[in-house]
Amino acid sequence: MSDSFGILSYGAYLPRRRLQRKVIAAANGWFNPGLRALAKGERAMANWDEDSVTMSVEAARDCLTGVRPAVIGQLMLASTTHPYDDRQNAGIVATALHLGSALRVLDVTGSLRAGTSALATALAAGGSALVAAGEHRLAKAASPQEMHYGDGAAALLIGRGAPIARLVGAHSETVDFVHQYRGHDRPHDYAWEERWIRDEGYMKIVPAALGALFEASGTAASSVTHFCMPCTLPRVATALAKRVGFAESALRDNLAALCGDTGAAHPLLMLAHALQDAKPGDRILVAAFGQGCDALLFEVTDAIAKLPPRAGVRGALARRKEESNYERFLAFNDHIALERGMRAETDQGTPLSTLYRNRDMVTGLIGGRCRNCGTLQFPRGRYCVNPKCNALDSQDDQPFSDLGATVMSYTADVLTYSPDPPAYYGMVQFDDGGRMMADFADVDDGKVEVGMPMRMMFRIKENDAARGFVRYFWKAAPAANQ
């Protein structure tokens, strides 16, 4: 088992805010009364400073907890909502995770199967790889998609060692069956009629893929312990399980009531959830539908019991704050034109040369550690800040992103512009030494205190709307909310 190949670890991330579906229905029921039938549960709602990249970084950090290998040869980032069309989004994630430059990165997109396609490709390649998928899909107000969708991310580490699950078999069917699509420069998906999608899509394409998988791998549906298949159409997963021959107990909760459908990330999110519940010997089948079907069958190994603790999907679900302000959701997603005031009109371009020269500090939160006295400082400088040392050019790279911190001082600013006022920021002191001025994220108004434990999180610093450029940096978030 020590030199086997498969899944070594998993991680997940969901935004803390959970928008209640009943408030969506209450706001839009005058126009679409049918929404009341969907007004159950809640959907994960990205904060204004979160997107598919930031959420993927957080899922990957969870995945690498306690199992970070010396070398990761490949990073694959799957999403249908990459913030950049012409910039490698996976490269941003790699820099934030300090994976180094000797790395192959790939953006995978174009289908709700992007997450499973990336996973299948990484498994077929046979090397060490980090597969992450994140999604932040927009939907028209008063649409069923607005009810069904949710924001989130998942990540899996693939490689040799002591895998927690090994691949038994995989099969893909590619069929240009268009159940929904989003054209170039269109912000929203267009979906077709549900009965057609169910009868001609799911009920024909998925069984064909699963049947081919069972035949090629010499396995039977009855051997599957966990069946993971995202689908927001009612009773489709149950009908598929019955047709294919799964035990009724094998059908996994699709998490629709708890976080919504996270798009290309959702098959990996459900797989991570199944792994968190699985026992050695369990078999997990993941199926993803979208212009065909990907099907991957895994067997859980004894190593699952030795995996270091992580938040995973259970932790991500437990980390929640109920959101009942539908207008805030609309504002965060630019669905309404708010009067943001003159303070929001400052035009600040991003000097790309400066960003490149400081990419480790800005994207990776790399500071310095004095090799003479051990003092930590951020940002790093030529001189050690320790007055008893002041050594010249003695700084080695020191990542600060995984260091705990506490609040030294803070301000709740109602005058400066913030998409979610008031703007909280302040000085944080890192537990191992070093301090920095940081914006705060995921703060409950009025509940910040000096001495409060904080955790650094990768977030959007600003959106340069004039040039279409997203600036990322690290923010401090209350550790109790993580």
3 state SS for 130-169: EEEEEECCCCCCCCHHHHHECCEEEEEEEEEECCCEEEEE
Looking at the fold, whether 307 and 423 belong to one and the same domain comes out as: no
CA 218 to each of CA 142, 202, 245, 285, 355: distance values in angstroms, whole numbers, following the listed order? 46, 23, 15, 14, 53
208 and 297 share a domain? yes
CB 164 within 8 A of CB 6: yes
Residue 343 lies in a domain: no
Predicted pLDDT of residue 339: 85
Q: Whole-angstrom Cα distance, residue 91 to residue 355? A: 14
Residue 265's CATH number: 3.40.47.10
pLDDT at residue 105 tops 90: yes
What total number of domains does the chain contain? 2
Backbone angle region of 376, left / alpha / beta, with phi > 0 → left and psi within -120 to 50 → alpha: beta
pLDDT score of 73 more than 90: yes
Computed over its alpha carbons, how large is the radius of gyration of the chain?
A: 23
424: CATH: 2.40.50.840
* Mean of pLDDT values over 60-87: 95
The neighbour count for residue 406, using CB atoms within 10 Å, is 18
First to last CA, the chain: 34
Counting residues of the chain whose pLDDT is more than 70, the rounded percentage is: 100
pLDDT digits (tens, 9 = 90+) for 221-234: 999 999 999 999 98
As a whole number, the mean pLDDT across the chain is 95
What pLDDT is stored for residue 68 in this prediction?
86
Tell me whether residue 392 is in a domain: no
The answer to whether residues 325 and 439 belong to one domain is no
| Spatial separation of the C-alpha atoms in residues 160 and 169, rounded to whole Å | 17
Placement of tokens 């400052």 in the chain: 346
Does one domain contain both 444 and 324?
Answer: no
> Residue 469 falls within a domain, yes or no?
yes
Encode burial over 207-231: b for 16+ CB neighbours within 10 A, e otherwise.
Answer: bebbebbbeebebebebbbbbbbbb
pTM of the model as a whole: 0.96
Q: Is residue 338 part of a domain?
A: no
Same domain assignment for residues 81 and 53: yes
Do you know the residue count of the chain?
A: 482
Instruction: Verify that 410 and 312 share a domain, yes or no.
Output: no
Q: 65-69: long-range contacts (C-beta < 8 A, 24 or more apart)?
A: 65/9, 65/11, 65/308, 65/309, 65/310, 66/307, 66/308, 66/309, 66/310, 67/8, 67/9, 67/157, 67/307, 67/308, 69/8, 69/128, 69/157, 69/159, 69/161
Q: Is the pLDDT of residue 37 over 60?
A: yes
Could you tell me if 285 and 360 lie in one domain?
A: no
Same domain, residue pair 405 and 472: yes
Do residues 172 and 22 make contact, with C-beta atoms less than 8 angstroms apart? no
Q: What is the pLDDT of residues 317-372, one digit of tens each?
A: 999 999 999 999 999 999 998 888 877 778 778 889 999 999 999 999 999 999 99
Any idea which of 255-269, 332-346, 379-393 has the lowest mean pLDDT?
Answer: 332-346
pLDDT band at 202 (very low <50, low <70, confident <90, very high): very high
Q: Mean of the pLDDT values across residues 70-75?
A: 92
- In a shared domain, residues 310 and 355: no
115 in a domain, yes or no? Answer: yes
Q: Examine the domain organization and report whether 324 and 468 are in the same domain.
A: no
pLDDT tens profile 413-472: 999 899 999 999 999 999 999 999 999 999 998 999 999 999 999 999 999 888 999 999
49 φ, ψ (degrees, to nearest 5): -105, 25
Residues 102-122 have a mean pLDDT of 97
Which pLDDT score is estimated for 481?
78
Using pLDDT thresholds of 50, 70 and 90, give the confidence band for residue 1. very low
Instruction: Supply the range of the domain harboring residue 164.
Output: 4-332
Residue 388 CB contacts under 8 Å (≥ 6 apart), including other chains: 373
pLDDT of residue 2: 53
- Could you tell me which residue, 107 or 468, shows the higher pLDDT? 107
Are 182 and 61 in the same domain?
yes
Residue 360: predicted pLDDT: 95
Three-class SS of the chain: CCCEEEEEEEEEECCCEEEEHHHHHHHHCCCCHHHHHHCCCEEEECCCCCCHHHHHHHHHHHHCCCCCCCCCCEEEEECCCCCCCCCCHHHHHHHHCCCCCCCEEEEECCCCCHHHHHHHHHHHHCCCEEEEEEECCCCCCCCHHHHHECCEEEEEEEEEECCCEEEEEEEEEECCCCCEECCCCCCCCEECCHHHHHHHHHHHHHHHHHHHHHHHHCCCHHHCCEEECCCCCCCHHHHHHHHHCCCHHHECCCCCCCCCECHHHHHHHHHHHHHHHCCCCCEEEEEEECCEEEEEEEEECHHHHHCCCCCHHHHHHHCCEEECCHHHHHHHCCCCCCCCCHHHHCCCCCCHHHHHHCHHHHCCCEEEEECCCCCEECCCCCECCCCCCCCECCEEEEECCCCCEEEEEEEEECCCCCCCCCEEEEEEEECCCCEEEEEECCCCCCCCCCCCEEEEEEEEEEEECCCCEEEEEEEEEEHHHC
Burial of 99 (0-12, 13-18, 19+ CB in 10 A): buried
pLDDT for 239 beyond 90: yes
Q: Is 50 exceeded by the pLDDT of residue 125?
A: yes
pLDDT of residue 311: 97
* Structural domain contains residue 345: no
User: What pLDDT score was predicted for residue 480?
Assistant: 86
Distance CA 53, CA 69 (A): 22
Among residues of the chain, what percentage have pLDDT more than 90? Answer: 91
